[in-house]
Structure formats: structure tokens, C-alpha cells
Amino acid sequence: MIRSFLLLAAFFGLTGVALGAFAAHGLRGSLSAEYLAVFQTGAHYQLIHALALFGVALLALHLPGKLLKVAGGLFTLGILLFSGSLYLLTLSGIGKLGIITPLGGTAFLAGWLCLGLAAWGFRR
């Protein structure tokens, strides 16, 4: 689990930076200002949750349990659904993809809840 979450954190961090730069430099002339902001929101949330995955991996070294695994899985799912739907929506123009975005946001929230519950149960 630890290695998997570290690898995912690195992958999502790398691609989040790359996609943010792509939006700032490559998409500036081809997307409306509104869609550019939506794309950047996807990159922003991807980077935040890449760091959250990194934190989950480090915490798993000291705090065993299923809640951390679930949190990491939910952060991963959230990135794929939330950020992924925003990327696809802006690049394809298919507005119906926005239906998926709240599912990713819910996964993010549930991931943070699981992380909090894992911390709550932590005893040294």
C-alpha cells in the first residue's frame, strides 16, 4: 500500500504540474477564460490530493489500519473523477461530463473524513 500510494502521489503530482503548465501556456488561446479556469481548478485539486496521497503513504508507516487505505483509494478516485471530468469537459466541450465532477468531490470529502477518523483512533 505504501509504495502504491507513493507512486500514485508522484504520478499525480507530475501530471498535475504538467497539466497546469499546459493550461497556462498551451490552452490560453484555445479555451475561453471560463474553461481555462475550470481546467486550472482540476489541476489545482489534483495537486492538493497528490500531496494528500503522499501524506497517507507516510502516515501508513506509523498508523496501520484500513481507514488509511480507504482514504488513499478515495483520494485517487476523487482525482480521476473530479479532475478528470473537468479536463474532459473543457477539452471536449461536452457539458454533461460535469455530472461526474460532484462524485469526485464527494470522494475527496469521504477521503478526508477517513483520514480524520484514522487520526481520531490513533493512540501512541
The whole-angstrom separation of Cα 5 and Cα 124 is 24
pLDDT tens, residue by residue, 33-84: 999 999 999 999 999 999 999 999 999 988 888 999 999 999 999 999 999 9
3-state helix, strand, coil in the chain (%, to 5): 85, 0, 15
Output the pTM of the full model: 0.94
Q: How far apart are CA 2 and CA 5, in angstroms?
A: 5
- Cα separation, 59 vs 76, in Å, equals 16
